[in-house]
């Protein structure tokens, strides 16, 4: 009763405020003259000179407009305010599409590379301690929190022949994603050719295209041997090429394999940006912290992008990551060190997945590193004829079908391929195995029941 009474007074007041603001807006727009491009990029509440709370007013009106009228407005606006050319054709995204499908709690999610195992206890404890320190809840140095860049330089000096300047040769970013973005925006020009190894992490291609460059694709070999990396290094040096090395899975290599950093090869440091990720290092993907390491003549361009985009990363997370790194830096040869214990734990899970997939007649490609396993699912000979979008690659249809009918999700491998190689990989799907045993048990139950039905 009380609420409805109040609304009687609020209604005219809202209209009044709205018309005042529209009047003000019109006056502001007129003084801005003919600069529609400029206006297009400014937040509406700023143009109108309204406070943020007042920006909710148009929503009130919209609520009372007929649906048809609203749709008409939106259609006109979407024709007027088209996407910037640099993002043309880049709107589909495998994570958005498949994460939504796997969000159903009844689905066992082996899709996105999202650990459901617990991160190390000391990592979580560091973060909770830090939240209580006032100063660490405020902005920090834009290019990387001082204690974090120091810890990173100390860690990576163990692998590089040279000392790493924490302030000039390291940049902390919003995940490895941020490092990729900064490196591509800061160092790649319109018209440049960028060699991308296929299958690739899906954002490489759109990021390269956003920079106006041209991706050129070449096929993959899994964990590169020293000799193979030397061939790549020789080619980089011969053709005076910049190297962006995404090494987010640097610690996750399995028995019989070793991770080599291409930046440590002779003649490569000066031309290489090496990218790492806290999410992958400590199984905390939600922290979205990453880093780029390289010579200062390259890092300074990534810094320029960062200072003009996100400016800085979350302080408490950076401090907690620094403290966690110190714990493991001091015990790198110890089996307890997470850099050693996580690959051991994952190797058991990898082997379990290999046996499971083989037991139902699939031929998984056994990974030497990382936490994904891919398998040719066409051998299951699944009837996908009722899948709606017949233009999609086989693996897209298969994963959608499997998520819906078997309550198991994965990621289609052709999402990591360019248009020309999609066909080559469309029979493969990717399962993530950085999962609790109970999650893998549930996946096993589904796969085994499915194979019993089939054979
Ligand atoms: C190869 C590769 N690079 C980069 C990233 C992004 O890492 P982050 O979550 O730190 O942004 C991922 C995440 O899955 C990845 O697999």
Token code pair at residue 407: 């309550």
Comparing 3 with 321, which gets the higher pLDDT? 321
Contact predicate 112/411, CB 8 Å: yes
Q: What is the CA radius of gyration of the chain?
A: 26
Each residue of 318-363: pLDDT tens digit?
Answer: 999 999 999 999 999 999 999 999 999 999 999 999 999 998 888 8
Among 282, 298, 301, 278, CA closest to 290 = 278
Contact 26, 48 (CB under 8 A): no
Mean residue pLDDT of the chain comes to: 87
Which DSSP string do the residues of 144-170 spell out, in sequence order?
Answer: --HHHHHHHHHHHTTTSSS---TTTSE
SS3 assignment, position 120? coil
Which residue's structure tokens are 């300047």?
165
Can you tell me the distance from the alpha carbon of 28 to that of 62, in angstroms, rounded to the nearest whole number?
A: 23
By alpha-carbon position, which residue is closest to atom 16 of ligand 1? 201
Cα separation, 130 vs 141, in Å, equals 17
User: Tell me: the pLDDT tens digits for 297-312?
Assistant: 999 999 999 999 999 9
Look up residue 261 and give its DSSP letter: -
Residue burial 100-130, b: 16+ Cβ < 10 Å; e: rest: ebbeeeebbbbbbbbbeeebbeebeebbeeb
Asked whether 196 and 217 are in contact (CB, 8 A), the reply is: yes
pLDDT at 67: 78
Determine the distance separating the centroid of ligand 1 and the alpha carbon of 125, expressed in angstroms: 24
Give the position of tokens 């819906």: 404
How many helices (H) and strands (E) are present in the chain, helices listed first?
A: 18, 12
Distance in Å from the first CA to the final CA of the chain = 66
Q: How far apart are CA 98 and CA 100, in angstroms?
A: 5
pLDDT range class, residue 28, cuts 50, 70, 90: very low
Structure confidence at residue 142 (pLDDT): 98
| Nearest protein CA to atom 4 of ligand 1, as residue | 176
**Angle at Cα 367 formed by Cα 363 and Cα 371, nearest 5°?**
115
What letter would DSSP give residue 253?
Answer: B
Q: Mean of the pLDDT values across residues 268-279?
A: 98
Q: What is this structure's pTM?
A: 0.85
**Ligand 1 atom having least distance to the Cα of 177:** 11
CA-closest candidate to residue 377, choices 357, 407, 393, 406? 357
β-pairing, 364-365 vs 289-293, is unpaired
In ligand 1, the atom with minimum distance to the C-alpha of 370 is 16
Residue bearing the CA closest to ligand 1, atom 11: 175
Ligand 1 site residues (CB inside 6 A) read 113, 175-177, 201, 246, 248, 277, 279, 285, 288, 290
Work out which ligand 1 atom sits closest to the CA atom of 179: 11
Q: What is the reported pLDDT for 64?
A: 62
Q: What's the mean pLDDT in 173-179?
A: 98
Q: Measure 174 CA to ligand 1 centroid, in angstroms.
A: 11
pLDDT of amino acid 161:
76
Question: Exposed, middle or buried, 380 (CB in 10 Å: 0-12/13-18/19+)?
Answer: middle
Question: Quick one: pLDDT band at residue 19, thresholds 50, 70, 90?
Answer: very low
Report which protein residue has its CA nearest ligand 1's atom 7: 176
| Of 440 and 102, the one with more pLDDT | 440
**Which residues are within 8 A (CB) of 42 and not within 5 positions of it... i.e. 6 or more apart?**
none
């Amino acid at each position: 009763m009380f609420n409805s009474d109040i609304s009687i007074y609020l209604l005219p007041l809202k209209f009044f405020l709205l018309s005042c603001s529209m009047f003000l807006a019109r006056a502001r727009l007129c003084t801005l003259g003919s600069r529609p491009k400029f206006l297009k990029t400014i937040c509406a509440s700023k143009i109108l000179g309204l406070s943020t709370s007042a920006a909710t007013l148009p929503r009130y009106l919209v609520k009372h407009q007929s649906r048809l009228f609203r749709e008409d407005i939106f259609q006109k606006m979407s024709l007027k305010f088209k996407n910037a050319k640099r993002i043309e054709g880049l709107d589909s995204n495998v994570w958005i599409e498949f994460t939504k499908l796997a969000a159903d709690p009844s689905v066992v999610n082996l899709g996105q590379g999202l650990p459901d195992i617990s991160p190390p206890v000391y990592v979580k404890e560091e973060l909770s301690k830090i939240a209580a320190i006032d100063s660490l809840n405020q902005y920090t140095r834009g290019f990387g929190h001082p204690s974090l860049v120091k810890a990173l330089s100390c860690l990576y000096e163990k692998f590089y022949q040279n000392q790493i300047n924490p302030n000039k040769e390291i940049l902390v970013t919003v995940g490895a994603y941020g490092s990729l973005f900064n490196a591509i925006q800061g160092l790649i020009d319109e018209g440049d050719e960028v060699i991308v190894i296929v299958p690739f992490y899906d954002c490489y291609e759109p990021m390269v295209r956003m920079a106006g460059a041209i991706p050129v694709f070449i096929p993959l070999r899994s964990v590169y041997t020293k000799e193979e990396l030397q061939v790549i290094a020789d080619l980089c040096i011969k053709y005076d090429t910049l190297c962006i090395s995404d090494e987010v899975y640097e610690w996750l290599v399995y028995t019989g394999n070793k991770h080599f950093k291409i930046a440590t090869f002779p003649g490569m440091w000066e031309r290489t940006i090496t990218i790492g990720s806290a999410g992958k290092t400590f199984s905390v993907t939600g922290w979205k912290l990453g880093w780029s390491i390289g010579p200062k003549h390259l890092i300074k361009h990534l810094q320029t992008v960062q200072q003009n985009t996100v400016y800085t990363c979350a302080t408490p997370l950076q401090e907690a990551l620094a403290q966690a790194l110190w714990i493991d830096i001091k015990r790198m040869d110890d089996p307890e060190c997470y850099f050693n214990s996580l690959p051991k734990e994952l190797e058991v899970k990898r082997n379990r997945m290999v046996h499971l997939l083989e037991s139902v007649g699939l031929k998984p490609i056994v990974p030497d590193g990382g936490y994904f396993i891919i398998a040719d699912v066409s051998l299951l000979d699944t009837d996908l004829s009722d899948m709606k979008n017949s233009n999609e690659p086989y693996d897209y249809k298969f994963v959608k079908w499997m998520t819906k009918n078997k309550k198991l999700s994965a990621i289609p491998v052709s999402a990591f391929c360019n248009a020309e190689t999609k066909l080559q990989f469309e029979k493969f799907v990717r399962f993530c195995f950085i999962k609790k045993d109970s999650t893998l048990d549930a996946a096993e139950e589904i796969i085994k029941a499915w194979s019993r039905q089939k054979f």
